[in-house]
Amino acid sequence: MTYAVKTSVRPLVEYVFRSGSLESGMRFGNALQEGTRIHREVQEKYGENDRKEVFLKTELSCAAGELLIQVEGRSDGVLLGEDGGYTIDEIKSTSETPEQIEGGHDVHWAQAKFYAYMLALETGLQKVGVRLTYVHKPGGERSVRETSQTLDELTAFVQDVAERYAPFALLLKKREEKRNAAASALGFPFGHYREGQRLFAGAVFKTVREEKNLLARAPTGTGKTISTLFPAVKAIGEGLIGRIYYLTAKTTTRAGAEEALNLLEKNGAYLSSVTITAKDKVCFKEEEDCAGGQCRFAVGYYDRINDALQDLFEHETRVTREVLEHYARKHTVCPFEFSLDAAYAADVVVCDYNYVFDPRISFKRLSDEQRGKSALLIDEAHNLVERGREMFSAELLKSAFLEIKRGYKGIHEGVRGAAERVNAYLILLRKQAGEEGRFVGNEPPEVMFKLLEPFVDQAEHALVTVHGSESEEELLEAYFAAQTFLRIGRLYGDQYVTYVETDGSEVKMKMFCLDPSELLLQASKNYRSAVYFSATLAPLGFYREMLGASEEDYTLSIPSPFSPEQLEVTVLPYSTRFRDRERTKDSLAAALAETVNKRPGNYLFFFPSYAYLQEIRQAFEARIDREQVEIIGQDSGMSEGDRTGFLDAFSAGREKTLVGFAVMGGVFSEGIDLAGDRLTGVAVIGVGLPQIGLERDIIRDYYNERGRSGFNYAYVYPGMNKVQQAGGRLIRTEEDRGVLILADDRFLQEPYRSLLPDEWGTR
Ligand code: SF4
């Protein structure tokens, strides 16, 4: 049997020829735009008979005929020589000096020779010239390396590349075949569907089949993880897609996806999944970071990565953080970069939203064809609005450039001067901000872009050529910040403002994305389908608009599977507005204490801020018997262990009553399951409005100008979402019973009242 795989020249030769180390985490550093500009500049100097961006393709049989590789790609240039012969030109921009490059990098030669081979086949030539044109940044000097190859030499070369690529390609191809057959035969793992599940799962499958998007409000109890993953796996079995991205905002939800995948596997699915954990969490080094370039997991990373991947996919299906760490240690490769490399070969990728939506770190090596064969399952999608604003915004701090100006004096004048100019401009802006300390504008910060472009070039040069500076880490950070600023600047449109804010000698300049909808849509549009789901995607119209849904996209609202008798809701009509808190504090604490005294059990109380939490906690403690009631509290600096300890305290059948004080919108108010007797009651204090501030007010004004209720968009909807999430911790299964206290008089008023879920019975 012959397996066929399709690939482009670049990933093929990169797989075979990648070698050396991860450079200070600069893997994401090469600005695509910059590369394109430099390519164009070289190509513009071509002669009239030379051709640029020439499409070439071929097929290579290897592994004793078991594999057929269909390769294609675009050569930068095909140059016609005076003797009538052709030369392939491969253009590369680099921060390395000509001396550092010496004879040229193997991977670049490999790319050029591959094109030369395909050109020789197409033209019937027996000999082709091969040239590497390096453009050296920051100055733009060029250096050229040139050779010529016979067809026989080129044939031997590409055949060798194909043979070296074959084992991994065959491994993945055979797995894919097994995966598709298993997915086709897979049945729903619970035998029967719960209420709402069939509806939801059916809608997800239809959405993927029809290449649409879906926004679904799926209340707790719908089993939303399995209701989305199962139909997506079935879509793999039907050949509609080849990969699923399960995207989450929080680590806790990722564990739910892993459990669902385990369940599918137990029921016969055969899938490789990779969970990506944030770099700072998964990094093996405890004190240092990548900047020093000394990490042994980074040094020689590319020399070992292929063996690590082969080993991983030969032996594992569920690549959780633990599995990944095991193989990363075994092969001495950076666990974070390894997870990214593994994700390109997995059937299911469980990761944060960033890896798809954030222009800084999204999966850059995915081709549009691969995206078109993938589905996005976006869990807790209500979070994507705020996360979108963060991902599409960028800021700079004056202090970062001042540090570099000082740290690189006498070490690298280019970067020192560029940092000085940015610093000086921010000083000018500080003066403009005057006594008020801020100003807001609608224009992109063009002057800053002009200052940052040379800074990025100089910084890249300094990072590659100068080592051992005390400020190297700061330079790397400022380099990334500047890169991000320029990259986000290219997205700038009507949905942005630029503001400057001062704080003492510090100056912050921020491009703030107010409406992320269009950019979210841009980032997801090349994927076959996106399914946005959450228990609190309400009001649905608001989320449709904010997530960039179009007229053709489907929406679905699934009723709660729980009965109203499971929940006893009480509204305590006290004002929790800032100005009234002192006045209502004692009555509120007394009412909460009375509830707890009357009905022993485990309680979670949610507050809009830590300060208010402390105030009520003190008043509450004075009203309860500490022999009978244990109190624990969330604080802002909790480690992962502290968080687990907090949740573990909520055990069923405790002797004493337990009250956990927590904040709304924090780690305990979303994505946690305290089923059964682990939770008796929840109190939500306040309507969750975000703190009034500059950014919120800008958002409010922006939507007011567009005929919406700006206050609702900026404050009420995000706040009430937190209320719904916090209250939603209480009833997790059909057996749960509990008390829900809503403490604020606004819960009885519009628009707040209408924004409470139907199943709370408060309307
Ligand atoms: S293990 Fe940590 S320090 Fe080493 S390369 Fe990876 S992220 Fe950087």
pLDDT single digits (tens) 159-213: 999 999 999 999 999 999 999 999 999 999 987 888 889 999 999 999 999 999 9
* Residues 7 and 143 both lie in one domain: yes
Q: Are residues 583 and 506 in the same domain?
A: no
**Is 60 exceeded by the pLDDT of residue 26?**
no
Residue 422: predicted pLDDT:
98
Separation of 364 CA from ligand 1 center, angstroms?
20
* pLDDT of the residue at 293: 65
Q: pLDDT at position 671, please?
A: 80
Task: Find the 9 Cα to ligand 1 centroid distance in Å.
Answer: 29
285 Cβ closer than 6 Å to some ligand 1 atom: yes
Question: Does residue 356 lie in a domain region?
Answer: yes
pLDDT attached to residue 289: 64
Q: How far, in Å, from the CA of 292 to the mean position of ligand 1?
A: 10
Task: Looking at the structure, tell me whether residues 353 and 455 fall in a common domain.
Answer: no
* Position in ligand 1 atom list of the atom nearest CA 289: 3
DSSP, collapsed to helix, strand or coil, labels residue 67 as: strand
Burial 183-221 (b: 16+ CB within 10 A, else e): beebebbeeebeebbebbbebbbebbbeebbbbbbbbbb
Q: Which of 295, 341, 361, 473 to mutate to test the pocket of ligand 1 (most atoms within 8 A of CB)?
A: 295
How many residues are given for the chain? 763
Confidence of residue 321 (pLDDT cuts 50, 70, 90): very high
Centroid of ligand 1 to alpha carbon of 293 (angstroms): 9
Is pLDDT of 31 > 50?
no
| Residue closest by Cα to atom 4 of ligand 1 | 295
- Mean local confidence (pLDDT), 416-438: 96
For residue 72, the surrounding DSSP H or E stretch is strand 67-80
Cβ neighbourhood burial of 490 (10 Å; 0-12, 13-18, 19+): exposed
Q: Is the CB of 289 under 6 A from ligand 1?
A: yes
Geometric angle at alpha carbon 719, from 716 and 723, rounded to 5°: 125
Q: Which of 383, 400, 392 is nearest to 487 (CA)?
A: 392
**Residue 320 CA to ligand 1 centre (angstroms):** 18
* The pLDDT of residue 689 is above 90: yes
Q: Read off the pTM.
A: 0.91
Write the residue with the smallest CA distance to atom 8 of ligand 1. Answer: 290
Is residue 45's pLDDT more than 80?
A: yes
Q: Are residues 264 and 285 in the same domain?
A: no
334 ligand 1 Cβ < 6 A: yes
159 within domain boundaries: yes
In a domain, 179, yes or no: no
**Interatomic CA distance for residues 69 and 12, integer angstroms:** 10
pLDDT at residue number 223? 87
Q: Check pocket membership of 507 for ligand 1, CB cut-off 6 A.
A: no
**Looking at residue 665, which CATH number applies to its domain?**
3.40.50.300
Q: Is the CB of residue 295 below 6 angstroms from any atom belonging to ligand 1? A: yes
Q: Which of 165, 199, 221 is the last residue of a domain?
A: 165
pLDDT tens digits, one per residue of 239-291 = 999 999 999 998 878 889 999 999 999 999 999 999 999 998 899 986 566 66
Residue 28, pLDDT score? 35
User: Using an 8 Å Cβ cutoff, are 146 and 108 in contact?
Assistant: no
Residue 29: predicted pLDDT: 40
The SS3 assignment for 129 reads: strand
297 ligand 1 Cβ < 6 A: yes
Q: Which atom of ligand 1 is nearest to the CA of 295?
A: 4
Q: What pLDDT is recorded for position 355? A: 95
Residue nearest to atom 2 of ligand 1 (CA): 283
175 Cβ neighbours under 8 A, 6+ residues apart: 270, 272, 313
Structural domain includes residue 180: no
Which residue in this structure is represented by tokens 């089949």? 209
Whether 325 is in the pocket of ligand 1, judged by its Cβ within 6 Å, is no
Look at residue 170 and tell me if it is in a domain.
no
Domain boundary among the residues 474, 490, 513 is at 513
Report how many domains make up the chain: 5
493 and 557 belong to one structural domain: no
pLDDT band at 21 (very low <50, low <70, confident <90, very high): confident
My answer on whether 621 and 728 are in the same domain is yes
Residue with the nearest Cα to atom 6 of ligand 1?
334
Element (H, E) at 337: helix 335-343
Q: Is there a domain that residue 152 lies in?
A: yes
- Percent of the chain scoring above 70 in pLDDT: 97
CA of residue 340 to ligand 1 center, whole Å: 13
Q: What are the C-alpha distances in Å from 214 to residues 229, 232, 443, 755?
A: 14, 13, 34, 22
Q: Is the CB–ligand 1 distance for residue 22 below 6 Å?
A: yes
CATH of residue 71: 3.90.320.10
Residue 513: partners with Cβ closer than 8 Å, 6 or more residues away = 388, 389, 392, 393, 488, 491, 495, 496, 519
Average pLDDT over residues 582-588: 96
Q: What is the band of 734 on the pLDDT scale with cuts at 50, 70, 90?
A: confident
pLDDT value of residue 286:
67
539 and 571 both lie in a single domain = no
Residue 167 is predicted with a pLDDT of 97
328 lines ligand 1 (CB under 6 A): no
| pLDDT score, position 364 | 78
Instruction: Name which residue leads in pLDDT, 110 or 369.
Output: 110
Distance 334 CA to ligand 1 centre (A): 5
106-123 and 9-17 are packed helices; what angle lies between their axes, rounded to 10 degrees? 140
Please indicate, yes or no, whether residues 124 and 228 belong to a single structural domain of this protein.
no
Q: Which of 165, 196, 222 is the last residue of a domain?
A: 165
Domain assignment present for 181: no
Give 295 Cα–ligand 1 centroid separation in angstroms.
6
User: Which of 28, 281, 285 most suits a substitution to test ligand 1, by most atoms within 8 Å of the C-beta?
Assistant: 285
Average pLDDT over residues 749-753: 95
| pLDDT above 50 for 489 | yes
Q: Which of 297, 321, 327, 361 to mutate to test the pocket of ligand 1 (most atoms within 8 A of CB)?
A: 297
Residues 620, 699 within the same domain: yes
Question: Over the range 291-322, which residues count as b (16 or more CB within 10 Å of their CB) and which as e?
Answer: bebebebbeebbebbbebbeebbeebbbbbbe
Closest CA to 129 of 63, 191, 84: 84
Q: Which residue's C-alpha comes closest to atom 7 of ligand 1? A: 283
Confirm if 436 and 421 have CB atoms less than 8 A apart: no
Report pLDDT digits (tens) over 703-716: 999 999 999 999 99
What is the extent of the structural domain holding 298?
281-346
User: Mean pLDDT, to the nearest integer, of 303-318?
Assistant: 97
Q: Which of 22, 280, 290, 477 to mutate to test the pocket of ligand 1 (most atoms within 8 A of CB)?
A: 290
Tell which atom from ligand 1 comes closest to the C-alpha of 334.
Answer: 6
Say whether both 41 and 159 belong to one domain. yes
Give the nearest ligand 1 atom to 284 CA: 1
Q: Is residue 89 part of a domain?
A: yes
Same domain, 12 and 161: yes
Q: How far apart are CA 73 and CA 81, in angstroms?
A: 22
How does the average pLDDT of the chain come out, rounded?
93
Say yes or no: CB of residue 349 within 6 Å of ligand 1.
no
Please give the distance, rounded to the nearest whole angstrom, from the Cα atom of residue 137 to the centre of ligand 1.
27
Model pLDDT, residue 336: 94
Q: Structure tokens of 273? A: 């999944």
Cα-to-centroid distance, 337 and ligand 1 (Å): 8
Ligand 1 contacts CB of residue 283 (under 6 A): yes
Does residue 619 register a pLDDT over 90? yes
Q: 118 and 43 in one domain?
A: yes
